[in-house]
Amino acid sequence: MDRVSSFDEPLKKLLGGATAKVMAEHLDLHTVGDLLHHYPRRYEERGKLTALADLPLDEHVTVVAQVADARILMFNNGRGKRLEVTLTDGSGRLQLVFFGHGVHKPHKELLPGRQAMFAGKVSVFNRKMQLAHPTYQLLDASDADEATEAVDAFAGRLLPIYPACKQLDSWRIAKAVDAVLPSARDAVDPLPASLREGRGFTPLPEALLKVHRPQTKADIEDAKARLKWDEAFVLQVALARRRYADTQLPAVARRPVADGLLDAFDAKLPFTLTEGQQKVSKEIFDDLATEHPMHRLLQGEVGSGKTMVALRAMLTVVDAGGQAAMLAPTEVLAQQHHRSITEMMGELAEGGMLGGSDHGTKVVLLTGSMGMAARRQALLDLVTGEAGIVIGTHALIEDKVQFHDLGLVVVDEQHRFGVEQRDALRSKGKQPPHLLVMTATPIPRTVAMTVFGDLETSVLDQLPAGRSPIASHVVPAKDKPHFLARAWERVREEVENGHQAYVVCPRIGDDAEEAEGKKGKAKKKAAEEDPEKRPPLAVLEIADELRKGALAGLTVEVLHGRMHPDEKDDVMRRFAAGDVDVLVATTVIEVGVNVPNATAMVIMDADRFGVSQLHQLRGRVGRGSAPGLCLLVSEAHEASPARARLSAVAATLDGFELSRIDLEQRREGDVLGQAQSGVRSSLRMLTVIDDEEVIAAAREEAVAIVAADPELEHLPELRTVLAALLDKDREEYLDKG
C-alpha cells in the first residue's frame, strides 16, 4: 500500500460498517488518518496491583482476585437489578457492584472460583469497600506465565481515554485505534528533515504510537510536543503561502503627495499625533506605496485613535487619485463615522461645494435606509469619482455600487464582518484595492497569528493625551441593594456636574413579550422561583422605571436597534449636543460612539455580557477631560464565575490582559468562530491560548521556508499534508481571509 493511501483508507474496510457509520456520524471520523488524529483526551493510570487489605479510598486501583460469590438482588419493587460480586485474594475481601443493563455480561462471566483482574475507583457503601462498575479482564490462561504477563500489562499501562459519544464509548474507540495503529508507519511527515532534526523532534510515526499507546508519561509529553508543532507549522505554512500569493497580486501604489489633502488636514489638526499613531501610520504608508495590495490588521484599544490613522490613510489614497471606502457593521456606527470624519476634515470635506477647500473631496454616506434621492446622488458621486471617501454599511457591497477607482478599503470591527463581504468589496476595484482591517477588541498575539494570520499586524497601545482614567466597580444588586441606589445617586451627581450618562441593558423588551399570555405567566413564575431564569433586563422597562423613580426630573431617552434610523440618529445627535442627560441603550453604542461629555456608564445585568464586550462598552466614557465611571450591576452570586469575570474587568483597563482572560474562559471554539472553522477543525492538540511559543516559532520557520521555496517544490511531503488540510472549505476560508 503506498504511503498516502493507507491514511486515506475508509474506516469501513477495517472496522466494519456499523462502527464506521457511528464514527462518521457522531465523531466526524471517516478515514484511517482521521482516527489516528483522534487523540486521547487524557490518560488514566490503572494503578499498580494492590492487595485487597490495603485498598486506598477514592483512588483508581487494579486488583487480581478470585470471585467468592455473585448474586443478583432486586430493588425498587422488582424494577431495578443489582449484581453484587464478592472477591477474595487471601489478604481481604472486596465487593463489586453492577447496575441495570450492566449486570448481564458480568453475571455470566464472574462465576465463583474464576480469577480476574479488576480496575476501578474505590468507594465505601454501607461501611464496606466497593468498586462500582469496574472494568475487568478474566485470567483463565492455562499458562501461568501468560497470566503474569497479562497482569503486568494491564496494571502498568496508561489507559488512553478518548473523546467519545453516547453511541461509542472510549474503550471501543481504543479497540478501533488498535486496528489502525499499524498504519501509523505510513504517516507522511510534513516537517522538513533539517527542521525535525534541528529541533530534536520524535519522528511522526513514533509520535502517533506514543500518543495512543504510551508506556510512560514521558512518551505522552514527547508525542504532544511533536504533534502540536505539526499543527502549528502546517497552518502557518498555509498562511505564509497566502501572504506570499498576496504579494504577487498587482495593485496601484498610492504614495503621499506634497501639499495635498493630507498635508492640509495635518496642518489644521489641533493636536500632535501620538508616537504610536505616527509609527503605525508609517507602516501603513509604506504598504500603500507598494505595487501589491496591503493586507493589514490595525488593532488598538478603545479610543487609541484608530479612526484618525485610518482617515490619514484614506486621504493619502485620495491625494494619489484613488477612492477610499470605510465599511462599518451598523448604521449607527456608519453615521457616527461619517459625522466625526466630516467634522475632523471641516471644509476639506466639502470638495466642489461653495466655501469648500480647493484640496477638498466629497465625503458621502451610503446606508440601506437612505432615501432614494440621497442614495442616487451618493451612487453618482462614487461612479464619477466626485466623492473621494465613502462611509457605509454592507449596502456598499451591493452590485449597483460602482466606484471610479477604488484604492483602499477600511473595514471597521472585523469580528462582525463576514469574510465573503470583505471579498465582495475588494472585487470592486479595477485592481485589488489595499485593505486595512480595524478592531478595538484587543487580540492576543497568538490569535492574531492564527485567526488573522494572513494579515500583517499593527498595534496602537497608547491612549492619546487628554483621555481620562475610568474607575470601574461591581455593584452587587442582590446582596447589597443600597449599592444600586447609590449607583443612581452617582449618575445624578454626574449630570448635576454638567455631564451625561449611559445605562446599558442586554435586551430591548416590549409589550409583545408580555402578551404571550400563559407562556408569559409561566416564565414569570419560574423567574420568581429562580432569579437565574428571569429574562435579562430590558431598555424600555428600565428607562420607564428610571424616569418615574431614581432619575425623575432628568431627560432620559432610549436607543436600540428596532428604532427607525432617523429616530436613532436624532437621539444620538441630541445626546451628543448635551440635550439628553441619560441614554438607556442596548449594545448599539458598543463601538464608535464618541460623546466626550458622557462620563458615567451603568451596565445592568453585566454578567450577561462577555469580557471584551464590557471593555468595549466601558470605552464609551472617559473620552473627554473628566474622569469616567463604569458601574457593573449584577445579581450573580459572589462566588460564581460570572462575578469573577466582572471583578477582572473592574480590576484592569488593559484590553490585552482582559482578552487573555476572556480567551481562557471561552477556549478557541468561540474565538476562531464559524468563519475559521477550517482552522478550528484542524487544531486537535494545539491550543491557541497556551501555545504561544510554539505558534511564534512555527510561524518563523514557515516564513523562511515559503520565502525560499514558495511552491514547496523541494518538500513534497509538506505539500501532500497541506493539500489534505486545505480541503475545499478551508481553502475557501483562507482565500477569503
Residues 129-164 have pLDDT tens digits of: 888 888 787 876 555 566 666 566 555 567 777 877
Q: What is the CB-side half-sphere exposure of residue 123 using CA atoms within 13 A?
A: 10
**For the residues 185-195, what does the mean pLDDT come to?**
88
DSSP element (H, E) containing 45: strand 42-45
Between 236 and 162, whose confidence is greater?
A: 236
Judge whether residue 73 has pLDDT over 80: yes
CB 598 within 8 A of CB 499: yes
Q: Each residue of 199-219: b (16+ CB within 10 Å) or e?
A: eebbebbbbbbbbbbbeeeeb
Query: What is the structure's pLDDT at 639?
Result: 77
Highest-confidence range of 154-163, 308-317, 445-454, by mean pLDDT? 308-317
pLDDT band of residue 552 (cuts 50, 70, 90) is very high
Q: What is the pTM of this model?
A: 0.66
pLDDT band of residue 1 (cuts 50, 70, 90) is very low
Query: What is the structure's pLDDT at 475?
Result: 93
Q: Each residue of 396-417: b (16+ CB within 10 Å) or e?
A: bbeeebebbbbbbbbbbbbebb
Please give the Cα distance from 59 to 549 (Å, whole number).
59
Between 300 and 501, whose confidence is greater?
A: 501
Q: What is the CB-side half-sphere exposure of residue 565 using CA atoms within 13 A?
A: 14
Which is it for the CA torsion 454, 459, 448, 594, positive or negative? negative
Return the minimum-mean-pLDDT range out of 116-120, 133-137, 280-284, 413-417: 413-417
**For the residues 68-85, what does the mean pLDDT come to?**
86
Judge whether residue 2 has pLDDT over 60: no
Q: Percent of the chain having pLDDT more than 70?
A: 82
Return the minimum-mean-pLDDT range out of 55-59, 70-74, 257-261, 665-669: 665-669
Taking phi over 0 as left and psi of -120 to 50 as alpha, with beta for the rest, 321 belongs to left
Please give the Cα distance from 490 to 600 (Å, whole number).
8
The per-residue pLDDT for range 80-126, each reduced to its tens digit, is: 888 999 998 877 888 999 988 778 888 888 989 888 878 778 888 87
CB count within 10 Å of CB 519 equals 10
The residues with which 97 forms a beta bridge, in sequence order, are 84, 132
Between 456 and 701, whose confidence is greater?
A: 701
Return the minimum-mean-pLDDT range out of 119-133, 356-370, 506-520, 597-611: 506-520
Q: How remote is the C-alpha of 253 from its chain's centroid?
A: 35
Please give the Cα distance from 575 to 561 (Å, whole number).
17
Judge whether residue 166 has pLDDT over 70: no
Q: What is the CB-side half-sphere exposure of residue 6 using CA atoms within 13 A?
A: 15
Query: What is the structure's pLDDT at 135?
Result: 79
Is residue 507 classed as helix, strand or coil in its secondary structure? Answer: strand
Please give the Cα distance from 302 to 279 (Å, whole number).
18
Query: What is the structure's pLDDT at 427?
Result: 77
Residue 506 has phi, psi (to 5 degrees) of -75, -15
User: What are 585's three cell numbers?
Assistant: 441603550
DSSP characters over 440-478:
SS---HHHHHHTTTTSEEEEE-SPPTTPPPEEEEEEETT
CB count within 10 Å of CB 425 equals 22
**For the residues 306-325, what does the mean pLDDT come to?**
93
CB 603 within 8 A of CB 630: yes
Judge whether residue 675 has pLDDT over 60: no
Is residue 171 classed as helix, strand or coil in its secondary structure? Answer: helix
Query: What is the structure's pLDDT at 500?
Result: 94
The per-residue pLDDT for range 597-635, each reduced to its tens digit, is: 999 999 999 988 888 788 888 888 888 778 899 999 998
Averaged pLDDT score across all residues of the chain: 81
Q: Percent of the chain having pLDDT more than 90?
A: 27
From first CA to last CA, the distance across the chain in angstroms is: 37
DSSP characters over 539-581:
HHHHHHHHHHTTTTTS-EEEE-TTS-HHHHHHHHHHHHTT--S
Query: What is the structure's pLDDT at 262?
Result: 93
Judge whether residue 286 has pLDDT over 90: yes
pLDDT band of residue 421 (cuts 50, 70, 90) is low
Nearest partner of 551 among 466, 601, 485, judged by Cα: 485
Is residue 404 classed as helix, strand or coil in its secondary structure? Answer: coil
